[in-house]
Structure 1
Amino acid sequence: MRQGRGDGFREFAEGRSGHLYRSACLLASGDTHLAEDLVQETLGRMYLLWGRVSRIDNPAAYAQTVLVRAFLTHQRRRSAGERPVGEFPESGAAAAGSGSGPGDPALRLTLLEALGRLAPKDRAVLVLRYWEDRSIEATADAMNTSSAAVRTRTSRALGRLREQLGGNISEFAGL
Structure 2
Amino acid sequence: MSQHDDEQFRLFVQRQWGSLVRTAYLLTGDRGTSEDLAQSALEKTHRRWDRVLRRDAPEVYVRRVMVNTAISWRRRRRLLEVPLLTSDSALTRDAYAQVEERQLLLAALRRLPPRTQAVLVLRYFEDLSEADTAEVLGCSVGSVKSQASRGLARLRAEFSPPAPQSPVRLEEEVA
> Taking structure 1 as the reference length, what is the TM-score of the superposition?
0.79
Match of 1:142 in 2: 136
Deviations 1:78-121 (A, max 9, x none): 3158544423213xxxx6xx645xxx322221111111111111
**Cα RMSD over matched residues?**
2.3
Match of 2:92 in 1: 89
Report the structure number with the largest CA radius of gyration. 2
- CA distance 1:158–1:76, shift in 2 (3 Å): same
Structure 1 residue runs of 5 or longer lacking an equivalent are 168-175
Match of 1:24, SS state, is helix
- The whole-number CA distance in structure 2 between the counterparts of 1:69 and 1:44 is 14
Match of 1:36 in 2: 35
Q: Find out whether 1:46 has 2:45 as its counterpart.
A: yes
Letter in 2 for 1:123: Q
**Count of residue pairs the alignment pairs up:** 158
- The whole-number CA distance in structure 2 between the counterparts of 1:5 and 1:127 is 30
Letter in 1 for 2:105: L
- CA distance 1:134–1:81, shift in 2 (3 Å): farther
Match of 1:20, SS state, is helix
Letter in 2 for 1:89: T
Match of 1:54, SS state, is helix
- The whole-number CA distance in structure 1 between the counterparts of 2:129 and 2:81 is 30
Letter in 1 for 2:17: S
Asked if structure 2 preserves the Cα contact closer than 8 Å seen for 1:114 and 1:165, the reply is no
The answer to which of 12-21 and 79-88 deviates more is 79-88
1:38 shift after superposition: 0.9
- The whole-number CA distance in structure 1 between the counterparts of 2:114 and 2:30 is 13
Asked if structure 1 preserves the Cα contact closer than 8 Å seen for 2:123 and 2:129, the reply is yes
Structure 2 residue runs of 5 or longer lacking an equivalent are 162-175
Asked if structure 2 preserves the Cα contact closer than 8 Å seen for 1:129 and 1:135, the reply is yes
Match of 1:69 in 2: 68
Match of 1:153 in 2: 147
Letter in 1 for 2:106: L
1:71 shift after superposition: 1.4
- The whole-number CA distance in structure 2 between the counterparts of 1:53 and 1:88 is 40
1:50 shift after superposition: 0.9
Deviations 1:13-44 (A, max 9, x none): 1111110000010111x211221121011100
Q: Find out whether 1:133 has 2:155 as its counterpart.
A: no
Q: Percent identity?
A: 37
